[in-house]
Amino acid sequence: MAKEKGERKEEFTTASGIVLKRVYAPEDIKDLDYARDLGSPGEYPYTRGPYPSMYRAYPWMIRQVMGYGTPESSVERWKALMERGGQAGYKQEPATTLLFDMPTNYCYDSDNPIAFYQVGRVGVAVDHYKDIVDLMKDFPMDKGFTNLVVHGSPPILTAMYIAAAQELGYPLDKLRGSSKNDPYQSQICERIQLLPTKAELRLCLDLLEYCAKYMPAWNPISLEAYGYHSSGSNAIQEVAFGLATAMAYIEGGISRGLDVDVFAPRISFFFSSGIDFLEEVAKFRAARRIWTKVMKERFGAKNPRSLLFRTYVCTLPPDYTAQQPYINIVRGTIQAMAAILGGIQAMSVTPYDEVLAIPTLDAHTMSIRAQQILVEESGIGNTVDPLGGSYCIEWLTNEIEDKVREYFKKIESWGNDGTVLSGLTAGVEKGLVQSEINEAVIKRQRAIEGGERVMVGVNKYTVEEEISPQIFRVDPVYRKEKIEKLKKFKEERDKQEVSRALKELAQVCRTNENVMPELIEAAKKRVTLEEAMNVFRDVFGVPEFWKGRRMTK
Amino acid sequence: MQRKPRILMANIGLDGHEMGAIVVSTALRDAGMEVIYLGLCQTPENIVETAIQEDVDVVGISSMSGVHDEVMPIIVNLLKEKGVNIPIIIGGIIPKEDIPQLKQVGVKGVFSPGTPTKQIIEFIQSIVEE
């Protein structure tokens, strides 16, 4: 049929497989009700944006993902990015997103032989609270914004952050930032699970509860939906699993007796923005509307701030190619435009060389400049939700919402009591979600190899001779420094205080009490990341995966 | 009857990025090979021991966190110490400029992101036949 019209393909689909019509018209959105389904920006159901003026008031935060080597080398990079206009909050205050090295994510100290080859390689190495002091001492922890992206044990790292803040003289209630405190995502996407699911969940909710009581400006759960998309599934699955996991944490918080309107306003999101431009724009709009309705209808939230879907975005690396790497700058810019037209709050445009190594400063600069051109030259943010009302975008937004809601039902059906919490926990424990992701990535690869999904430089428009940009390498001297400093730190601390703190931590773990106060106390007594995790490992046990492995000294 | 090529697939280092290894393992299986998927967070010792025990024809390593430069020579040397001659190949985030050095220490094949799985399959078939 299509070919009769002289079209290139039988069927045009989005990256997640939604079949697009040749053209959209009023009848495609004839049931759309402005007040019910869209609302003005800053009004229910927030489809058009969480705030009335959006980028006319404040541009999105340019917050590149960063961190490598030691706290000192990471601070150096942080300052360099700031000089270029990156790492800036809504009011140009310092804002950053910190990535940690793999040993930190797996809760091994830098001096553990298992960590040796990876200390500081792909993120900053943190072993104890003094490392956070070194990271933060030149930055305002009350006026700035620090996003801690840690997969292994966010409560331990956040406790160290709190201990450092107190030493630097900041009151708890002034700390601004977020913790990627999302054990489902860690288990499903990062494939990092250090403790049994139930224990991970308890610690996650301990942090949530603690922040709800004492840290009103901190986002205790920065929910990472990004990982679902970047590990190979599609945009619909990203929204579905992302929002479902957030619902599970909300159910968890409520089951602890917390008032949803106290903690829900501080749940924030971390999404990706992929290359399929129209679908991505619709994705963010749909996510906002679904979240608002879920919060209001399912959880009975009354505080308008509980209804807001606020998100940080990283542009999607699997869309990038190692071949002809400079063309990734173009991809990043397209992805960024989709995110902006989708109404996001903060962004990192993935540097073009991230498929080759951790980024150079030049590659980061390009990502920052792309965003500055978008804000200051392109006019993209000069009016709010310019694509709102487009027949196509509104139809796609509806389609994505429908498909996400079908996923919610599927997830609920995995459990035994109709809650998402029970469904998701069963789905993760049985590996059902992991299998969905694995299948999606295999399907994606087949589509690339079969040529149905074009990747310029990989399966089309390839070139023989390839330009290889300068690669960033982490100087091994940082590792040496880090290990030596850690040894000194361990020698100089009061060992009795350390063992007392560890005992107290173990004790509280065995009760139903919140572990955070003891964890913060332990951090102050110079307990290291691995030592704190070993208490958890002893008390809660380790998942099957780790049994019999020679991963410790 | 000629036996199916046996491949050991393992991810090195503390890292959960296993999608590349899953995609390649699936493609090798679909191509009629026998894949022993060792999985995430493997140490050089574990990999070498398993390769010997399982009597594999090829060891495939996935590296996503930049440890290939230091860890690959260790695996190659461990294999040598044990007196076995099993070809070893690697895929993942590996800068182009590191490839000559990896080949020099004895890594047979290096595959960057975007490599069609067909190319990996053909490469394995060619080294198994040698």
Q: Name which of A345, A343, A280, A356 is nearest A317 in CA terms.
A: A356
Dihedral sign, Cα of residue A75, residue A165, residue A122, residue A335: negative
A118 touches chain B (CB under 8 A): yes
Residue A123's pLDDT is 96
Cα A305 to Cα A285: distance, rounded to the nearest angstrom? 17
Give me the DSSP letters along A322-373: SSSGGGHHHHHHHHHHHHHHHT-SEEEPPPTTTTTSSPPHHHHHHHHHHHHH
Cα A259 to Cα A88: distance, rounded to the nearest angstrom? 32
Q: Which own/partner pairs from A164-169 qualify as long-range (CB within 8 Å, at least 24 positions apart)?
A: A164/A129, A164/A130, A164/A132, A164/A133, A164/A135, A164/A136, A165/A136, A165/A141, A166/A524, A167/A129, A167/A133, A167/A524, A168/A133, A168/A136, A168/A137, A168/A141
For residue range A295-346, what is the model confidence (pLDDT) as tens digits? 999 999 999 999 999 999 999 999 999 999 999 999 999 999 999 999 999 9
Quote the minimal CA–CA distance from B129 to chain A in Å. 25
Nearest chain A Cα to B18, which residue?
Answer: A191
Q: Which residues contact A528 (CB under 8 A, 6 or more apart)?
A: A109, A127, A128, A486, A490
Say which of B41, B70, B114 has its CB closest to residue A322.
B114
A511, burial (CB in 10 Å: exposed 0-12, middle 13-18, buried 19+): exposed
Task: Report yes or no: A352 and A468 within 8 Å, Cβ to Cβ.
Answer: no
Cα A423 to Cα A411: distance, rounded to the nearest angstrom? 5
Residues paired with A100 in a beta bridge: A124
At which residue do the structure tokens 């998100």 appear?
A311
Say which of A102, A114, A445 has its CB closest to residue B23.
A445
Q: What is the interface size between A and B, counted as CB pairs within 8 Å?
A: 85
Say which of B13, B116, B118 has its CB closest to residue A102.
B13
List the single best residue of B12, B15, B118 to mutate versus A (max A Cβ within 10 A). B15
Say which of B16, B22, B23 has its CB closest to residue A190.
B16
Residue A545's pLDDT is 80
B96 touches chain A (CB under 8 A): yes
For residue range B4-35, what is the model confidence (pLDDT) as tens digits? 999 999 999 999 999 999 999 999 999 999 99
| Phi, psi dihedrals of residue B64, rounded to the nearest 5° | -120, -5
Residue A552's pLDDT is 40
Which SS3 state, helix, strand or coil, does residue A60 take? coil
Nearest chain A Cα to B98, which residue?
Answer: A471
At which residue do the structure tokens 């049985």 appear?
A430
Residues A485, A487, A488, CA angle at the centre, nearest 5°? 65
A197-236 burial, b for 16+ CB within 10 Å, e for fewer? bebbbbbbbbbbbbbbeebeebbbbbbbbbbbbbbbbbbb
Residue B129's pLDDT is 86
Residue A4's pLDDT is 60
Cα A539 to Cα A516: distance, rounded to the nearest angstrom? 16
pTM: 0.95
Quote the minimal CA–CA distance from B62 to chain A in Å. 14
Residue A549's pLDDT is 65
Nearest chain A Cα to B27, which residue?
Answer: A442
Cα B80 to Cα A354: distance, rounded to the nearest angstrom? 34
Q: Which two tokens stand for residue A314?
A: 């990283």
Nearest chain B Cα to A193, which residue?
Answer: B16
Residue B130's pLDDT is 78
Cα B27 to Cα B21: distance, rounded to the nearest angstrom? 10
Nearest chain A Cα to B17, which residue?
Answer: A190
List the single best residue of B28, B41, B61, B110 to mutate versus A (max A Cβ within 10 A). B41
DSSP state of A247: H
The full 3-state SS of A449-510, as one line of letters, equals: HCCCCCCECCCECCCCCCCCCCCCCCCHHHHHHHHHHHHHHHHHCCHHHHHHHHHHHHHHHC
List the single best residue of B9, B11, B12, B14 to mutate versus A (max A Cβ within 10 A). B14
Task: Report yes or no: A115 and A108 within 8 Å, Cβ to Cβ.
Answer: yes
Residue A547's pLDDT is 75
Cα A145 to Cα B66: distance, rounded to the nearest angstrom? 29
Say which of A151, A231, A358 has its CB closest to residue B19.
A231
Dihedral sign, Cα of residue B38, residue B41, residue B46, residue B51: positive
Asked if the Cβ–Cβ distance from A122 to B66 is below 8 Å, we say yes
Q: Name which of A20, A123, A112 is nearest A65 in CA terms.
A: A123
B19 touches chain A (CB under 8 A): yes
DSSP state of A151: S
Helices (H), A137-232: 154-167, 183-185, 197-214, 226-230
List the single best residue of A68, A99, A102 to mutate versus B (max B Cβ within 10 A). A102
A455 touches chain B (CB under 8 A): yes
Q: Which two tokens stand for residue A68?
A: 């490598």
Residues in chain A closer than 8 A to B17 (CB atoms):
191
Which SS3 state, helix, strand or coil, does residue A291 take? helix
Along chain B (130 residues), what's the average pLDDT of each consecutive run of 10 residues?
A: 87 92 95 95 94 97 94 96 96 92 97 93 92
Nearest chain A Cα to B64, which residue?
Answer: A357
The letter for the amino acid at A144 is G
Residues in chain A closer than 8 A to B18 (CB atoms):
191
Say which of A121, A355, A466 has its CB closest to residue B65.
A121
Tens digit of pLDDT at every position of chain A (553 positions):
455 678 999 999 999 999 999 999 999 999 999 999 999 999 999 999 999 999 999 999 999 999 999 999 999 999 999 999 999 998 889 999 999 999 999 999 999 999 999 999 999 999 999 999 999 999 999 999 999 999 998 999 999 999 999 999 999 999 999 999 999 999 999 999 999 999 999 999 999 999 999 999 999 999 999 999 999 899 999 999 999 999 999 999 999 999 999 999 999 999 999 999 999 999 999 999 999 999 999 999 999 999 999 999 999 999 999 999 999 999 999 999 999 999 999 999 999 999 999 999 999 999 999 999 999 999 999 999 999 999 999 999 999 999 999 999 999 999 999 999 999 999 999 999 999 999 999 999 999 999 999 999 999 999 987 668 889 999 999 999 999 999 999 999 999 999 999 999 999 999 999 999 999 999 999 999 999 999 999 999 998 887 766 554 3
A380 touches chain B (CB under 8 A): no
Residue A540's pLDDT is 97
Q: What ipTM was predicted for this assembly?
A: 0.94
* CA B63 to chain CA mean position, Å: 9
Quote the minimal CA–CA distance from A21 to chain B in Å. 31
Q: Which residues contact A498 (CB under 8 A, 6 or more apart)?
A: A525, A526, A527, A531
Cα A444 to Cα A317: distance, rounded to the nearest angstrom? 14
A324 touches chain B (CB under 8 A): no
Residues in chain B closer than 8 A to A323 (CB atoms):
112, 114
Task: Report yes or no: A420 and A412 within 8 Å, Cβ to Cβ.
Answer: yes
Q: How far is CA A110 from CA A222, A479, A537, in A?
A: 26, 8, 18
A172 touches chain B (CB under 8 A): no
